[in-house]
Structure 1
Amino acid sequence: MRLRKKPWAKPELEKDNKVIFNPSEFQGKWNECFNNDFPIHLELGCGRGSFIAQLAKLNPKINYIAIDIHPELLVYVLRKANENKLTHLRIIPMYIENIGDIFAPDEIEKIYINFCNPWPNKRHHKRRLTHPNFLKMYYRFLKENGEVWLKTDDEILFADSLEYFQSQGFNEVFRTYNLHQSDFKGNIMTEYEEKFLEQGIQIKSAQFCKVDVH
C-alpha cells in the first residue's frame, strides 16, 4: 500500500503521550504505562485504527496497543483515541519484526492480526506476520493460554498460517472459511474487511491458543 506523505502526521503524534516512541523502555512494565493491572491486547498492523478503537470502546477494562510503522495511518488512530477518550489505548510506531524487544515473557494476553500482507512470493514468506519467525516471538511474550486471532481474505496465506501455528505449539481453537456465514458472535469489522465483503470475497478467520511449554 502506497501512502501519501503527511508532513504534519509525525509532529502530531509526538505531542501526545499515548504514542510511545521508546517502547523498549517499558519491557516488562507495560501495566505501569497504563497505570492499571488490566490485561493487554495488541493489534499488529493496525492501519487507521477502526478495529482497535471499536474494541477499546467496548472493553474499558482491557488495555490496547496499536502497532504500525506509518505515521500517516497512526495519526488517525490517535484521533480516534482522543475523540472517544480511550485512555487505555497506546500507539507504537515501529517495525513489527522488532516486537520481540519490547515485551517481556507472559506480558500479553491476546494478539490480533487482521488482513496482513500475504507476501505471495515464496522468498518473501518470512515477512508474513504469521510466519514461524514471528510466531516464536509472540510465543515468548504471550501469557499461558494467550491467544492470537487471525483474519484474512487470502486463501493461501490462511492455509499456510494454519500449518505455521501448528508447528509452533499453538492449539487451534476456531476456524472458519466464511466468517460472516459462521456462528461466530461479536465480530468487529475492519476497513479492509468491509471492502472485501463488498467484492464478494469470503473472510477466513482462525484463533490459536498458547498451550505448550517450549
Structure 2
Amino acid sequence: MRLRKKPWARPALEACSFFVINPTENIGKWREVFGNSNEIWLELGCGKGGFISKLASSNPDINFIAVDIKDEVLILAKEKIEKEYSLINADTRNIRLMAHEIMLIRKMLNEDDVINRIYINFCNPWHKNSHRARRLTHPNQLNQYRAFLSANGQIWFKTDDTILFQDSIRYFDQCGFHIAYLTEDLHASGFDKNIETEHERMYIEQGCKIKFLIAEKR
C-alpha cells in the first residue's frame, strides 16, 4: 500500500534529535557521532520502525543506524522509536535514523566506520531478471557492505520469499561469506533471538514460513 504524501514529515524529522539530516557528511566519522567506541549495528530498510525500535531500546550498549528512503515511512519509525524508549524511560543516544538510498550506501559508510552487524528484513525480492541487481542481497550490494563490515561481521537476513532466499544463499557464498545459521522455518526453529517485524506478523498470519540466515564475513 502506497503511503500518502506527508508534507509535515520532513520538518518533524529534522526537528528530531536522533534524525540525521545529511548522513553523507558523517562518512568515516560515525563513532564520533555516537561519541563512544561501542559496536555499531545497521538496519537497511527499517520501514515503520517496529523492529529497530525494539532492538535498539533493549540494547543500550550498542549503537544503531536505521536507514530507509521515504519521509512518509521514516516519520512512523521516529514515532515508534520514541514510544519504545519512553516505555523504559531511556534516551535515544544510541540510535540514529536517516533517509538515504541504500544502493548508494558507500556514500555514507566507509572502512573507518566498522559496522559489526547488518539487518536486512523482508526486502523487495525483485523477481524480474532485469531488476535483480536491485536486491539488497545481490553481490553488487554485498561487496559494498564488505568494505565497512568488521572482520567476522554478520548479516542477519529474513524473508518470506523462497526464490530470493535461495538466490541469496548463492550470493553470500559468491561474495566470501560463510552461512553460520540457516533455517527455512524461523518460528519453528527454536531460534530465540528473533524480533518480529510488521511484515513478519502479517506473513505468519497468512501461513507463510519465514526464512532466516546469518552470514559471516570471511
> What range is the shorter-chain TM-score in?
over 0.9
Distance 1:17 1:25 in 2: 17
8 Å contact kept, 2:40–2:62: yes
Distance 1:23 1:155 in 2: 33
8 Å contact kept, 1:109–1:147: yes
Structure 1 equivalent of residue 18 of structure 2:
18
Amino acid at match of 1:8: W
139-148 or 2-11: bigger deviation: 2-11
User: 1:82 deviation in Å?
Assistant: 2.7
Amino acid at match of 1:186: K
Identity in percent = 48
Structure 2 equivalent of residue 74 of structure 1:
74
8 Å contact kept, 2:18–2:92: no
152-161 or 50-59: bigger deviation: 50-59
User: 1:17 deviation in Å?
Assistant: 3.4
Structure 1 equivalent of residue 34 of structure 2:
34
Distance 1:57 1:89 in 2: 9
Structure 2 equivalent of residue 88 of structure 1:
94
1:103 matched to 2:126: no
Structure 2 equivalent of residue 159 of structure 1:
166
Aligned length in residues: 211
3-state DSSP of counterpart to 1:46? coil
Amino acid at match of 1:103: L
Distance 1:172 1:118 in 2: 20
List structure 1 runs of 4+ shifted beyond 3 angstroms: none
3-state DSSP of counterpart to 1:90? strand
TM-score, normalised via structure 1 length: 0.96
1:7-40 deviation line (CA, Å, top 9, x unaligned): 1111101112311121122111101111111110
Structure 2 equivalent of residue 175 of structure 1:
182
1:65-108 deviation line (CA, Å, top 9, x unaligned): 11000111111222233331322110110110110111121610
1:9 matched to 2:6: no
Distance 2:105 2:174 in 1: 20
TM-score, normalised via structure 2 length: 0.94
8 Å contact kept, 2:186–2:209: yes
3-state DSSP of counterpart to 1:189? coil
Structure 1 equivalent of residue 210 of structure 2:
203
**Counterpart pick for 1:115 among 97, 111, 122:** 122
1:137 matched to 2:117: no
8 Å contact kept, 2:116–2:149: yes
Amino acid at match of 1:99: I
3-state DSSP of counterpart to 1:144? strand
User: 1:183 deviation in Å?
Assistant: 2.2
Extract unaligned runs of 5+ from structure 1: none
8 Å contact kept, 2:143–2:175: yes
